[in-house]
C-alpha cells in the first residue's frame, strides 16, 4: 500500500485565508512525507465552490508553484456539502485515504497526523471530534446541542460534536458513491456505512479571517435537511399526535355528555376558540412537515446532478 493522502477543502470566497492555509498544510505534509507516513504523491485539493472573489486564481497559482496543491473548479456555487462530495468522488481514484477539512483553519490541523496514524492502525473512518466549543457563541452551542439530540431521537447515528473534518479510506468513499440521493447529508450517511471507525479529538479555533459562509438561514435549512434525510419519524410523530388529540376530544365529549345528563350544560366560547386555534395550528404544522417530505420526493425524483466540474488541475507525475 502506498498511503497516498488527498485532502479535500471546499472553498467559497476564501481569498483571505487560502494562502495561509496552504502554507500551514504544506508544512504538515512535508513532515508526514519525511516520516514516511504518507506517500510523496499526496495532494492538497482545494475545491472552488463558485467563489465570487479571486479564490480560483489563488488556487491556480498555488498549483502552478507547487505540485502538492491541486484544484477542482465547480461550475457554480453548490454549497459546502456538494463541494465536499465533488472533491471526495473526484480524488478517490488517486488516493488511498482522503481527509476533508474547512478552508478557514477552524479545524486544528495537528489532528491530521493523528488521523493518519489511526488509518495506519487499520481504521477506515476517523472522525474529528471537537473537544470544546468555547470559541462558539452560547447560541450556537445551545442550538448545536439540541440539534444532535433531535437527530439521535429520530434515529440518526450522528457522531456528537463531529462536523465534516474526517478521514475516509478509498473503500469507504467507493461505498459512499453508491448513495445516489440528490441531497446527501454526509454527517448522517457516513456513520451508516459501517466499517471500522474511531475518533480523534481536537480544539476548534476561531476562523482565521473573513466571515462565516453559513448564515443563520443556510444553517437552518441545512439542519432541516439533516432531519428529513435521516428519518421519517416526524411524520410518525404527527400520526401519534393525531391519535392523542382524538382521544382527548372523546374524553371531552364524554365529560360534556355526563355534565349535561346531570343537568348543567357546559358553557364557554373560550374553550371552543382555543381548541379551534390549537387544532388548526397543529394541522398546518403537520401539513407543513408532510409537505417537506413531498418536496424532498419531488427534488429526489428529478435526480439532477449534484455538481458540475469545470476543471480539475492535478499534477500526478
Q: Which residues bind ligand UDP (CB under 6 A)?
A: 10-12, 14, 49, 77, 79-80, 83, 102-104, 106, 207, 212-214
Radius of gyration of the chain (CA): 25
**Residue 70 in contact with residue 98, Cβ under 8 Å?**
no
Q: What cell does 286 get?
A: 403537520
Rounded CA-CA distance 277/268 in Å is 15
Among 70, 69, 73, residue whose Cα is nearest residue 23: 69
Distances (CA, A) of 249 to 81, 228, 272, 286: 45, 30, 12, 18
> Toward ligand UDP, which CB reaches closer, 3 or 100?
100
- In whole angstroms, the minimum distance from the beta carbon of 97 to ligand UDP comes to 20
> Toward Mg ion, which CB reaches closer, 17 or 62?
17
Taking the CA atoms of residue 12, residue 158, residue 156 and residue 215 in that order, the dihedral angle to the nearest 10 degrees is: -30
- In whole angstroms, the minimum distance from the beta carbon of 104 to Mg ion comes to 4
- Asked if residue 106 binds Mg ion (CB under 5 A), the reply is yes
- In whole angstroms, the minimum distance from the beta carbon of 12 to ligand UDP comes to 3
Rounded CA-CA distance 46/48 in Å is 6
- In whole angstroms, the minimum distance from the beta carbon of 215 to ligand UDP comes to 9
| Site size with Mg ion, rule: CB under 5 A | 3
Rounded CA-CA distance 112/98 in Å is 11
> Toward Mg ion, which CB reaches closer, 49 or 102?
102
Rounded CA-CA distance 253/62 in Å is 74
> Toward ligand UDP, which CB reaches closer, 101 or 124?
101
> Toward ligand UDP, which CB reaches closer, 118 or 128?
128
Q: Which does 49 bind (CB under 5 to 8 A by kind): Mg ion, ligand UDP, none?
A: ligand UDP
- In whole angstroms, the minimum distance from the beta carbon of 282 to ligand UDP comes to 33
Rounded CA-CA distance 300/304 in Å is 8
- In whole angstroms, the minimum distance from the beta carbon of 198 to Mg ion comes to 24
> Toward ligand UDP, which CB reaches closer, 138 or 269?
138
Rounded CA-CA distance 200/208 in Å is 22
Distances (CA, A) of 241 to 60, 72, 158, 246, 282: 56, 48, 26, 8, 9
- Residue showing cell 447515528: 157
- Asked if residue 49 binds Mg ion (CB under 5 A), the reply is no
> Toward ligand UDP, which CB reaches closer, 39 or 133?
133
Stretch that binds Mg ion, among 42-50, 94-102, 141-149, 268-276 (CB under 5 A): 94-102
- Asked if residue 104 binds Mg ion (CB under 5 A), the reply is yes
- Asked if residue 164 binds Mg ion (CB under 5 A), the reply is no
- Asked if residue 13 binds Mg ion (CB under 5 A), the reply is no
Q: Residue 68 carries which DSSP code?
A: T
- In whole angstroms, the minimum distance from the beta carbon of 102 to Mg ion comes to 5
Binding interface with Mg ion (CB under 5 A): 102, 104, 106
Amino acid at each position: 500500500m502506498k498511503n497516498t493522502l488527498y485532502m479535500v477543502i471546499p472553498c467559497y470566497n476564501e481569498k483571505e485565508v487560502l494562502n495561509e492555509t496552504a502554507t500551514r498544510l504544506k508544512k504538515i505534509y512535508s513532515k508526514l512525507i519525511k516520516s514516511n507516513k504518507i506517500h510523496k504523491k499526496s495532494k492538497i485539493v482545494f475545491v472552488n465552490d463558485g467563489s465570487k472573489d479571486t479564490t480560483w486564481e489563488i488556487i491556480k497559482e498555488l498549483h502552478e508553484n507547487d505540485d502538492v496543491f491541486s484544484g477542482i473548479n465547480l461550475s457554480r456555487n453548490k454549497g459546502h456539502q456538494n463541494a465536499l462530495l465533488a472533491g471526495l468522488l473526484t480524488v478517490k481514484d488517486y488516493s488511498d485515504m482522503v481527509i476533508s477539512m474547512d478552508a478557514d483553519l477552524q479545524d486544528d490541523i495537528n489532528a491530521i497526523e493523528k488521523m493518519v496514524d489511526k488509518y495506519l492502525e487499520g481504521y477506515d473512518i476517523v472522525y474529528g471530534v471537537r473537544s470544546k466549543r468555547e470559541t462558539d457563541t452560547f447560541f450556537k452551542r445551545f442550538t448545536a446541542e439540541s440539534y444532535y439530540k433531535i437527530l439521535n431521537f429520530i434515529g440518526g447515528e450522528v457522531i456528537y460534536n463531529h462536523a465534516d473534518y474526517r478521514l475516509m479510506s478509498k473503500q469507504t468513499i467507493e461505498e459512499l458513491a453508491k448513495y445516489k440521493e440528490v441531497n446527501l447529508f454526509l454527517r448522517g450517511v457516513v456513520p451508516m456505512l459501517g466499517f471500522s471507525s474511531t475518533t480523534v479529538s481536537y480544539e476548534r479555533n476561531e476562523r482565521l479571517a473573513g466571515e462565516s459562509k453559513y448564515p443563520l438561514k443556510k444553517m437552518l435549512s441545512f439542519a432541516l435537511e439533516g432531519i428529513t434525510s435521516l428519518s421519517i419519524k416526524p411524520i410518525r410523530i404527527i400520526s401519534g399526535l393525531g391519535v392523542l388529540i382524538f382521544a382527548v376530544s372523546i374524553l371531552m365529549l364524554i365529560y360534556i355528555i355526563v355534565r349535561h345528563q346531570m343537568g348543567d350544560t357546559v358553557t364557554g366560547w373560550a374553550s371552543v376558540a382555543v381548541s379551534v386555534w390549537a387544532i388548526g395550528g397543529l394541522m398546518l404544522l403537520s401539513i407543513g412537515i408532510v409537505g417537506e417530505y413531498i418536496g424532498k420526493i419531488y427534488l429526489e425524483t428529478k435526480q439532477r446532478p449534484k455538481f458540475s466540474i469545470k476543471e480539475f488541475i492535478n499534477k500526478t507525475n
